[in-house]
Amino acid sequence: MSTIKYICKRLALMVFVFVTILTICFVLVKLLPVTEAEQFGKDMNLILQRRKALGYDKPILVQYLIFLQKSLLGGDWGISEELYRGQEVWGMFVSKLPATVLVNVYSMLFSVPLGLALGTYAALKKNKWQDHLISTLVMVCISVPSFVYALLIQYFLCFKLQLFPLQMNSGSDYFTWSMFKSVIPAVISLGLGSVASFTRSVRAELSEVLTSDFMLLARTKGLTRAQATVRHAFRNSMVPIFPMILGEFVAILSGSLIIEKIFGVPGVGQLYVSSITARDYNFFMLLSAFYTLIGLVSGIVVDISYGIIDPRIRMGER
């Protein structure tokens, strides 16, 4: 019961935070100077009258109330005025989301099992050469920015060895072999950092758990090392790891600007920055609302997940 109360409280707070963040975003983006209407050889009045029709000349508070009524409550996020002129921002966003999700899902499927396996192996072989090798690779992958190995992967695997296409395929036939093959370089580039991150965390957690007293107890009561590791050590080490995996799920919806650019993934990675620089207000507010909501919901889910993984942690308990 207390958990339900806790969730309700968090949801109410979430609405408050959501509206606050959107208000700040709206005001800040509207405070940015609008691109001048004057263009060489252009009838400036056409631009000014369009802006007037869009309500750009109204006070920011009035514009905000219109946004709340039309977009947030009415679900009409409007038309893109700059980035994809004449097209509905929601439709455009949704059309670009699958490519990002595809690459990120593959990346997660690649990075989570590999990260867990490598981390577990390194922990079990702690301070042996296998552990040192894995730890060194982890440090390299974490230290080097993803675009560096993205370019290296593209050059060696795609250009020199011709194992994969240089760019992701076009079209929306996402579940074809050809498409799968074309996203592999992006998936590896995107996933290497996560693999390293999971490996490092799992190794650290598991190493600590493996030396705990209860592990000694488990062994003394007759469990084999494998049984003790899987049943006791692994489970306990998952408490901080599982929220990390959930975090990866959240990241699925947000694209990587650099990786998408290098491998020609027609996703949402560049939209947020572009919407600000282009002063595409509708696009910016849609993206702000979407990612804010995703972030807030995931925060709650992650918090609740602690209680599920480890029953000793119960949210809302005094």
Partner 1 sequence: MFKRNLKRAITIALSACLMVGAAAGCGNKEENNNTTPAPTQAADNGNTDNNGSADNNGSGSTGNSGDAGTAEPTYTYNGALTTFPTNWNFHEYETTYDTEILNYISSGFYVFDYNDTKDGYKLVPGMTVDFPVDVTADYVDQYGIEAGETARVWKMTLRDDLKWEDGTPIKAQDFVTSAKLLLDPVAKNHRADTLYNGSLEVVGAREYLYQGTSTFTPLGVGVSDYLANGGAAENIYVDMSFWGITAADGTNYAAATDDTMVRDEAVAEGQPEDYVSAKYLYETYLGPGCPYESESSAYLGTMVDYAADYSFDNVGVMALSDTELVLVLVKPLEGFYLHYALTSSWLVKEDLYNSCITVKDGVYSNNYGTSVETTASYGPYKLTFFQADKEFVLEKNENFYGLTEDTYQTTTIKVAYVAEPATRLEMFLSGQLDSYGLQAEDMEEYQSSDYTYYTSEPSTFFIALNPDMDALTANQANVGANINKTILTVKEFRQALSFALDRSAFALAVSPVNGPAYSLYSDLIISDPENGTSYRSREEAKQVLVNFWGLANEVGEGKMYATKDEAIDSITGYNLAMAKQYFDLAYDKAVAEGLLDADDTIEIKIGTPNATSNFYNKGYEYLVNCYTEAVVGTKLEGKLTFTKDDTLGNAFGEALRTNKVDMLFGVGWNGSALDPYSLIEAYTHEDYRYNRHWDTSKEMLTVNLNGTDYTASIIDWTRTLAGTEIEIAKADGTKETFKAGSNDGVDELRFQILVALEGAVLDTYEMIPMIDNSYAALKGMQFNYYTEDYIYGVGRHGDYKYMTYNYTDAEWDEFVKSQGGKLNYK
Where does this chain bind partner 1 (CB under 8 A)? 33, 35-36, 38, 40-50, 53-54, 57-58, 70, 76, 79, 83-88, 92, 95-96, 105-106, 109, 112-113, 151, 154-155, 158-159, 162, 165-173, 175-182, 231, 235, 261-262, 264, 266, 270, 277-279, 311
Nearer to partner 1, 282 or 288 (CB): 282
Nearer to partner 1, 105 or 137 (CB): 105
Candidates 93, 96, 83; CA nearest to 266 is 96
Evaluated on CA atoms 213, 217, 220, 222, the torsion sign reads negative
CA distances from 90 to 82, 101, 253 (A): 14, 16, 14
Nearer to partner 1, 15 or 163 (CB): 163
Residue 42 CB, shortest distance to partner 1, in Å, is 7
Nearer to partner 1, 11 or 59 (CB): 59
Residue 31 CB, shortest distance to partner 1, in Å, is 12
Nearer to partner 1, 41 or 129 (CB): 41
Nearer to partner 1, 2 or 172 (CB): 172
Residue 172 CB, shortest distance to partner 1, in Å, is 6
Q: Which two tokens stand for residue 131?
A: 């552990």
Cross-strand pairs, 88: 79
Residue 293 CB, shortest distance to partner 1, in Å, is 24
How far, in whole angstroms, is CA 149 from its chain's centroid?
Answer: 20
Residue 252 CB, shortest distance to partner 1, in Å, is 13
Residue 55 CB, shortest distance to partner 1, in Å, is 8
Nearer to partner 1, 53 or 226 (CB): 53
Residue 11 CB, shortest distance to partner 1, in Å, is 25
Residue 132 CB, shortest distance to partner 1, in Å, is 29
Nearer to partner 1, 57 or 208 (CB): 57
Cα diameter, the chain: 87
Q: Rounded distance, CA 120 to CA 289, Å?
A: 38
